[in-house]
Amino acid sequence: MSKHPPEIPPVPPAEPSGEDQPTGAQGEEPPARGIILMRVLGWIALCARVAALAAGGMQPAAAAQANLAYDAITKVIISGTPPPPDNFASDADLIAKLPPMKMSNPTGQANTARATGLLTGLISSIPGVGSLIATGAAMAAGAASNAAQQHAQEEQQRQSRAIMAAGRLTSFAFYGDWMREKAGNVATISKPDEGVTLHVNYETHSYAEQRVDPNITTYTVDATPPPTASIVDAPVVTRLAATVIEHRPVRGYHLHGSVESSQDLGFCKAGRTNIDIVEYVSDLPDPVNARAAAPDPIALLTSACTPSTTASSFEPGKLVLYRTFSVHPSIAGDLIIASELGNFKTIEDRSLFSPPPGFTEEH
C-alpha cells in the first residue's frame, strides 16, 4: 500500500495539526448522565468486539510481521478537549496518579449490583478502557436510579467522568497470530492456532485455561447491516501536516461531515450531527486489523454513528498512533473518544504469552 492512498478524494494543502483538532463546546450537562454514559459505552463495546473478532480471524501470514507490543490509552471526553498528539507519556503519568474511586452504595446493594453487572458485561473488554471505567460508569448508572440520593449520585458521576476523561491504559502484545491484552491485574492471552485462551490474574497469582479445537469447522453468517444516517454535508478530508509521535513519523488526516437521523442512532442524537475524525497513521502494520480495504469516506461518514471497527479510516492495514472521534451533539452532549498508543517494543520471545512461573491453574 502506498503511503497516501489514491482512493482518498483531493484535499486542500496540509494545515497545522494544532489548529484542526475537534473540540467539544462547553455546555449544560444533559439529564441522567449515568444512563446516557451506559449507552455510549455500550456502543464502544460493540466496536471492541468486532475488533477482537478481527484479531482472532487473522491469517498467520498477515500477522507474522507484527511481533509487537505497545500500550494504548482510551479517553471518553464529554464537553471537553482531546489531548494533543504525542502526549502519551503525560497521559500515562496522569492515569498512574489517579486516586482510587470511592465505592459508596447510595441506591442500595441490589440496584448497584445490577447496574455494575450490566455495564461490566457490556464494556469490560473495551481495548484501552477496561474494568475500571466499567466500574465507574456502573456506579454512575446505579446512582442515577435513585433521585433521593442526589448528592451521592453527582459525586459518583463526577468520579466516573474524571476517570473516563483521564483514560484507561491497556497493554497489548502480538507474536505471530497470538495476542495478549492486559488491563489492571488481569491479562487475556489468545493462541488461535492451539485453540487456547488463558485468563491470567496477577493479583491472585492464578490462571484459567479455555480450550477450543483449532480444527473445528466454523461458519460465517451474514448479518443484517446496521442502520445508517443520511449525509447532510458530504465528507471533506483534509491532509494535516506530517509530524512525529513516539519517535515515529506519522501522516495526519481530518475528516469532517454532517449526518442526519430521525431518531437517536448509536452515538448520534436525533436530528443533525457533526462528525470529525482525526488520525495520525504510522508505517507499522496494524496487528488487529490486518486485512486492508480501500478507504471510503462516504461509507465512513454514514456509519460513524454506529462504528464497528478500530481500523484506520484513511490507510487501512496501517497502525493508528493517535485518533480522535468527535460527535456533536451526541446522546451525551459533545462527545470525543480519543485513543493514543505508546511504549512500543519488539517481542523477542514467547514467554510473555504463558502464565508466569509459580502461578496456579484454576479449575
pLDDT along the chain (363 residues), means of 10: 41 40 40 47 46 40 65 88 94 85 50 41 42 45 52 65 78 93 93 93 95 68 70 93 96 95 87 94 89 78 82 91 92 87 91 94 89
Predicted confidence at residue 307, as pLDDT, reads 79
Q: Which amino acid is at 355?
A: P
Predicted confidence at residue 215, as pLDDT, reads 66
Q: Is 357 exposed, middle or buried (0-12, 13-18, 19+ CB in 10 A)?
A: exposed
Predicted confidence at residue 166, as pLDDT, reads 78
**H helix or E strand, kind and range, residue 89:** helix 88-96
Predicted confidence at residue 259, as pLDDT, reads 93
Q: Round to the nearest angstrom and report the end-to-end CA distance of the chain.
A: 47
Question: Contact at 8 Å (CB) between 277 and 337?
Answer: no
Distance CA 295, CA 314 (A): 5
Predicted confidence at residue 128, as pLDDT, reads 41
Predicted confidence at residue 302, as pLDDT, reads 85
Predicted confidence at residue 58, as pLDDT, reads 40
Predicted confidence at residue 155, as pLDDT, reads 66
Q: In this structure, what is the dihedral angle of CA atoms 319, 322, 326, 330, given to the nearest 10 degrees? A: 80
Q: Note the pTM of the prediction, 2 decimals.
A: 0.72
Distance CA 66, CA 287 (A): 6
Task: Report CA 117 to chain centroid distance, whole Å.
Answer: 20
Predicted confidence at residue 253, as pLDDT, reads 97
